[in-house]
């Protein structure tokens, strides 16, 4: 797709996902040659709209530029987005050098904590099926916030509430299907937690925290609050996060895990940034590990946008579609269709 197509698509998604500001700006950026040229500096494989908006919001914090008056996270009474574009373009022109640097060096690594709402029942399902402790390996972990899914509390409207006792992170989501998962009040035992990423965002570094927050859309105050709560939990947990190509590191890391556990490789909204060769290498690595030990692979955006769960247990392969998911974890469906 061209950059124009990317921004037009992003505009539709932004309106659907409750960001009228980004929706309005994207419509104009899609046909602005100067801003599209600026976006051409984004790293290959990275979603240019998210990078541009993240870069602007990163630089805008603490700024007296009029654009800040349109961001609901920066002002108590934001102006309507209809007049925001000219200010947005002016800000980009004034900070062109800094924006280019961010586009070239930063990654879209949104740690959407609410996605844990569907990780929890999926890993419950794996444990109920296999009855082994889970050894977690997250590809594209960023700051590792999703590695602590078993430490958080959950409410699925009237369907189910699990109250964790180790953090103050409380996640709400909706199960938009008649079929419901069987969720235990006791989370599965977790033996290991490894997070892999090309660039680890450390919750100990203020600049990394500011970048991750800048990737959250201005109107999404609940997401921002969850992010800070989960970041505090990760600070206390001291997770094992490894910087490097997650696909290349997978075999090496899996060898460090006892065969008393099942390796659980997972990634959400990461594979869309992989090329076809990398996706195939990942699947080949999963098969290779499965020839030696039990493994589960939970993912989306390889074949389609559905959430998939593949397992290899005692050499026997199983492939399942879990269901559909909202990108921000506000809802999911539970279908569990065997392929």
Give the tens place of pLDDT for each residue, 23-32. Answer: 999 999 999 9
Q: Answer yes or no: is pLDDT of 197 > 90.
A: yes
Separate counts of helices (H) and strands (E) for the chain: 11, 13
The mean pLDDT of the chain is: 92
Domain extents in the chain = 3-105, 113-338
Give the tens place of pLDDT for each residue, 260-310. Answer: 999 999 999 888 889 999 999 999 999 999 999 999 999 999 999 999 999
Reported as a pLDDT band with limits 50, 70 and 90, residue 59 is very high
Give the tens place of pLDDT for each residue, 130-163. Answer: 999 999 999 999 999 999 999 998 888 765 566 5
Q: Answer yes or no: is pLDDT of 167 > 70.
A: no
The whole-model pTM stands at 0.86
Q: What is the mean pLDDT of residues 177-191?
A: 89
Going through 71-139 in order, the beta strands assigned E by DSSP cover 134-139
Q: What pLDDT is stored for residue 252 in this prediction?
A: 96
Q: What pLDDT is stored for residue 13 in this prediction?
A: 87
* Residue 303: partners with Cβ closer than 8 Å, 6 or more residues away: none
Instruction: Give the Cα separation of 58 and 50 in Å (integer).
Output: 12
Q: Which of 228, 122, 256, 123 is nearest to 168 (CA)?
A: 228
Q: In what order do the strands lie in the sheet with 316-323?
A: 240-243, 190-197, 134-139, 262-267, 295-299, 307-313, 316-323, 337-338
Q: Tokens 């955006």 — which residue?
A: 301
């Amino acid at each position: 797709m061209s950059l124009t197509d990317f921004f037009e698509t992003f505009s539709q998604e932004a309106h659907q996902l409750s960001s009228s500001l980004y929706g309005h700006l994207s419509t104009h950026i899609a046909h602005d040659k100067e801003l599209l040229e600026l976006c051409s500096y984004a790293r290959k494989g990275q979603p240019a709209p998210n990078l541009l908006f993240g870069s602007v919001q990163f630089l805008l914090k603490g700024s007296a530029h009029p654009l800040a008056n349109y961001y609901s996270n920066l002002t108590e009474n934001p102006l309507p987005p209809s007049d925001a574009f000219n200010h947005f373009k002016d800000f980009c022109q004034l900070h062109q050098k800094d924006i280019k640097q961010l586009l070239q060096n930063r990654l879209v690594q949104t740690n959407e904590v609410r996605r844990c709402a569907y990780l929890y029942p999926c890993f419950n399902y794996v444990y109920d099926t296999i009855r082994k402790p889970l050894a977690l390996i997250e590809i594209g972990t960023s700051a590792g916030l999703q590695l602590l899914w078993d430490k958080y509390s959950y409410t699925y409207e009237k369907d189910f509430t699990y109250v964790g006792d180790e953090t103050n992170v409380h996640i709400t989501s909706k199960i938009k299907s008649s079929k419901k998962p069987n969720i235990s009040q006791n989370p599965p035992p977790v033996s290991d937690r490894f997070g892999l990423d090309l660039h680890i965002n450390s919750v100990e570094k203020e600049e990394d925290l500011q970048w991750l927050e800048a990737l959250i859309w201005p109107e999404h105050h609940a997401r921002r609050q969850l992010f800070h709560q989960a970041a505090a939990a990760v600070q206390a947990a001291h997770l094992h996060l490894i910087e490097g190509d997650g696909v290349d590191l997978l075999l090496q890391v899996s060898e460090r895990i006892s065969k008393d556990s099942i390796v659980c490789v997972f990634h959400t909204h990461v594979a869309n940034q992989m090329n076809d060769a990398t996706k195939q290498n990942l699947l080949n690595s999963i098969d290779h590990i499965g020839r030696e030990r039990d493994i589960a692979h939970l993912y989306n955006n390889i074949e389609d946008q559905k959430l998939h769960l593949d397992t290899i247990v005692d050499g026997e392969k199983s492939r399942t579609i879990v269901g559909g998911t909202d990108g921000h974890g506000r809802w999911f469906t539970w279908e569990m269709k065997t392929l």
